[in-house]
Amino acid sequence: MVDALTASYGSVEAFIKYFSECAMSARGWSVLAWDARECRLWIYNADAHNQGGVWGAVPIIVLDVHEHAYFMDYGADRKAYLKVFWKNFNWSRANDVFKRASLIRL
């Protein structure tokens, strides 16, 4: 997954920065997904359950940024929520999901 993130975003650190910026601007979710047609990773923001889905894209990382996801603990401080999200992020599990998803090629 490190290689794929580096290919798409320059480095893992740059990916985290860009994904977090996307999450700051999203109203629903930010999603890192494997695009089975282009065989690369993309970040998508989606605002609703029934909109924003991308055909052929397999979610790898899904971050809920609806207010109900963080407001009770962090108030309006979404940046603090994102900081804790990354601090607790299970990279091993995400890598497992990526390994299986990246086998899918359309």
CA distance 23 to 17: 10
Select 70 or 98, whichever has its Cβ closest to Fe ion. Answer: 70
Please list, in sequence order, all residues whose beta carbon lies within 8 angstroms of the beta carbon of residue 6, skipping any fewer than 6 positions away.
Answer: 12
- Measured in whole angstroms, the distance separating CA 26 from the mean position of its chain's CA atoms is 11
The mark string for 9-48 relative to Fe ion (x by CB under 5 A, - otherwise) is ----------------------------------------
Stretch of 4-12, 31-39, 46-54, 62-70 lying at the interface with Fe ion (CB under 5 A)? 62-70
Select 28 or 102, whichever has its Cβ closest to Fe ion. Answer: 28
At 83, which helix (H) or strand (E)?
helix 78-87
Does 66 sit near Fe ion (CB under 5 A)?
Answer: yes
Stretch of 8-16, 42-50, 53-61, 67-75 lying at the interface with Fe ion (CB under 5 A)? 67-75
Place of tokens 């975003």: 9
